[in-house]
Structure formats: structure tokens, C-alpha cells
């Protein structure tokens, strides 16, 4: 929900432009009601996809080449925690760089079992966990405590940061600093890299944890990633409106809502997408609000 640290000028320029465009669209559409919020969201999605393409065109070939990692297959309903492990594999975690599929599966299973055991099952089917659960698990430092067998531990530490920004996601994938975890329709996916076909055509490399252990991935367009996989706070507004909510919002009030979302670390199931970083690359958490003088 915020720019990646040490952001490149190409992405910063488009992020600034999109911020101005967001305000202009909302001011033009005001008052925002349950009847016009979807149209405003559609306009903004198209604009953000276009901004991401422009940033990539100016940035050039990706600074990070994702290659073809050996990923693990989920066991049971551990799609989210398995996708975390696959993100760690793509980020180069030494303890998970294995050619032996069986050994890789055993180590991943130890991590996913620990995630399931040490996070809340409330309101979730089986062993499924949310990106919010991963946030809490990683911030508590529990990953480094998992015994992978024979006393082996994960060598690096990782963090997740909730996001609903296509520009932030594309920049993280372009630089190689982050990988995207997505929960969609009670199933998780991983986006782990970018592939350039030409200056105007880019593909996001995706891994479904239901696929068998080994190499392999699918591709999605930037538009598909934004429309189908990234959450938009605007989608929440129709649920807040109606007979028991507020009938309309002005542009400034709506921007205030979006800014509050931007400042939250923990949105639960409201924000089903998060970037995974090595701890040294993770943007800092928001500090507590300043006390009133």
C-alpha cells in the first residue's frame, strides 16, 4: 500500500501521476454512491494498468530474472502457507534450494504445519490461512524457530506487507525485492516475476500451489493481475452504503477512507494480497500515530 523503498524514478513518476488522477476521477464522480462506485473503479483500474505499462517501458528490462525455481505442491488446504514457502524459494532461501522433490516437500510441510498450528483457525476452512495470519506469524519471528529436520532452520527471515497497488507490486517484481501472495476465492497463488514480450506487453509469472512439485508456472497479463487478483478498497464501499450506511461520499471523504486503509498493517480478510520480502528489503511498518499535543 506504499511505495517500495529506494523506488526507481520510473515508478515514482507514475505513482505520483496516478495519485493525482485518482483525486481527479473521484472529484469528477462525486458524490460517490453505490450506483457509480463501480464505474469509478473501472476507470481507475484501466489507468493504473496503463501507468504500470508506462513505468515498465521507461524502466526497461527487469533488474531481476526469475528463472524457473523448483516449487513445492501444497498438502491439504495449506495453499497460502505453501505459497509463502514458494515465495521464499523464489527469493533464494538456502534451506529450500533442493533438487530432491521429496526432501523439499518434507521441509515445506514442516513450515506449513507450524504456520497452521500457531495461527488462528477461526472462520477458515481446514488448514487454510490468510495473508493477515502470515503477517502476524512472521512479525512474531516464528519462522526461524521451525525445525526442518536434523536441527536445520530457515536461514533468512521474511516479512509480508499488505498491498492493493499494482504499481507497488510491479516494481517489487521488477526489482526482485518482493513476491506477491494472493488469496482469491479461498485459494492462494504466488506471483514471482515479470517477463517482457515487448515494450508494451508484459507477463506476470504465477504459481498455483496445487501443481505438482517441480518447475512450472502460468502467465497473467497486468490487466488480469489488477482486475482479478488485487483487492480494491473501493469494492468495500457498496457494502457500507445503503439503508443502514451512508448514502454518498464526497471526494475528500473517500480519499480519507483510502488513506486510512493505506496506513493499516492488518486488514484481515479485507486485503487478500501481500508482498513478501526478505526482512532487509521490507518497507518499515507504519509507526503509531503521533500523540495530540
Cell 476452512 locates to 125
Clarify whether residues 16 and 57 are in a common domain. yes
Q: Give me the pLDDT at residue 265, please.
A: 62
pLDDT digits (tens, 9 = 90+) for 37-84: 889 989 999 999 999 999 999 999 999 999 999 999 999 999 999 999
Nearest-angstrom CA–CA distance, 81 and 25: 38
Clarify whether residues 198 and 136 are in a common domain. yes
Tell me, yes or no, whether 1 lies in a domain: no
Give residues with Cβ within 8 angstroms of 69, minimum separation 6.
86, 89, 90, 192, 215
More confident residue, 33 or 173: 173
Answer whether residue 123 shows pLDDT above 80: no
Q: Average pLDDT over the chain, rounded to whole?
A: 87
- Of 6-20, 62-76, 225-239, 258-272, minimum mean pLDDT range: 258-272
Tell me, yes or no, whether 24 lies in a domain: yes
Kindly state the DSSP code that residue 30 receives in the 8-state scheme: P
Give residues with Cβ within 8 angstroms of 181, minimum separation 6.
80, 83, 84, 87, 131, 134, 160, 188, 189, 190, 273, 274, 275, 276
Residue 140's domain comprises 79-221+270-278
Nearest-angstrom CA–CA distance, 15 and 166: 10
Clarify whether residues 141 and 194 are in a common domain. yes
Indicate the number of domains in the chain. 2
Q: Give me the pLDDT at residue 236, please.
A: 63
Please state, for a pLDDT cut of 70, what percent of the chain lies above it. 86
Q: How far is CA 53 from the centre of its chain?
A: 18
Tell me, yes or no, whether 211 lies in a domain: yes
Clarify whether residues 135 and 19 are in a common domain. no
Clarify whether residues 150 and 247 are in a common domain. no
Tell me, yes or no, whether 245 lies in a domain: yes
Give yes or no for a contact between 130 and 110, defined as CB atoms under 8 angstroms apart. Answer: no
Nearest-angstrom CA–CA distance, 267 and 194: 27
Give the relative orientation of helices 251-262 and 9-29 as an angle to the nearest 10 degrees. Answer: 140
Clarify whether residues 16 and 132 are in a common domain. no
Residue 93: CA atoms inside 13 Å, Cβ hemisphere, count? Answer: 30
Clarify whether residues 195 and 254 are in a common domain. no
pLDDT digits (tens, 9 = 90+) for 142-188: 999 999 998 899 999 999 998 889 999 999 999 999 999 998 877 89
Clarify whether residues 85 and 179 are in a common domain. yes
Amino acid at each position: 500500500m506504499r511505495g517500495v523503498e529506494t523506488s526507481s524514478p520510473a515508478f515514482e513518476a507514475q505513482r505520483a501521476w496516478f495519485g493525482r488522477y485518482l483525486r481527479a476521477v473521484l472529484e469528477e464522480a462525486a458524490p460517490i454512491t453505490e450506483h457509480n462506485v463501480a464505474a469509478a473503479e473501472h476507470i481507475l483500474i484501466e489507468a493504473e494498468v496503463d501507468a504500470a505499462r508506462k513505468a515498465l517501458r521507461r524502466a526497461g528490462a527487469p533488474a531481476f530474472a526469475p528463472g524457473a525455481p523448483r516449487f513445492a505442491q501444497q498438502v491439504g488446504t495449506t495453499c497460502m502457507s505453501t505459497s509463502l514457502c514458494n515465495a521464499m524459494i523464489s527469493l533464494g532461501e538456502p534451506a529450500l534450494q533442493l533438487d530432491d522433490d521429496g526432501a523439499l516437500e518434507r521441509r515445506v510441510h514442516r513450515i506449513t504445519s507450524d504456520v497452521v498450528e500457531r495461527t488462528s483457525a477461526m472462520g477458515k476452512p481446514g488448514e487454510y490461512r490468510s495473508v493477515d495470519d502470515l503477517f502476524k506469524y512472521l512479525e512474531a519471528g516464528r519462522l526461524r524457530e521451525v525445525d526442518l529436520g536434523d536441527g536445520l532452520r530457515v536461514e533468512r527471515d521474511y516479512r509480508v506487507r499488505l498491498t492493493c497497488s499494482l504499481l507497488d507490486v510491479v516494481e517489487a517484481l521488477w526489482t526482485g525485492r518482493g513476491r506477491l501472495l494472493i488469496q482469491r476465492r479461498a485459494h492462494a497463488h504466488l506471483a514471482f516475476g515479470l517477463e517482457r514480450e515487448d515494450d508494451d506487453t508484459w507477463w506476470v509469472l504465477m504459481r498455483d500451489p496445487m501443481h505438482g512439485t517441480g518447475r512450472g508456472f502460468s502467465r497473467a497479463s497486468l490487466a488480469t493481475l489488477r482486475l482479478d487478483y488485487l483487492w480494491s478498497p473501493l469494492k468495500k464501499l457498496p457494502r457500507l452504503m445503503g439503508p443502514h450506511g451512508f448514502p454518498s461520499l464526497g471526494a475528500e471523504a473517500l480519499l480519507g477512507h483510502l488513506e486510512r486503509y493505506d496506513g493499516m498493517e492488518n486488514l484481515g480478510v479485507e486485503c487478500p494480497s501481500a508482498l513478501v520480502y526478505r526482512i532487509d528489503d521490507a518497507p518499515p511498518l507504519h509507526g503509531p500515530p503521533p500523540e495530540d499535543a
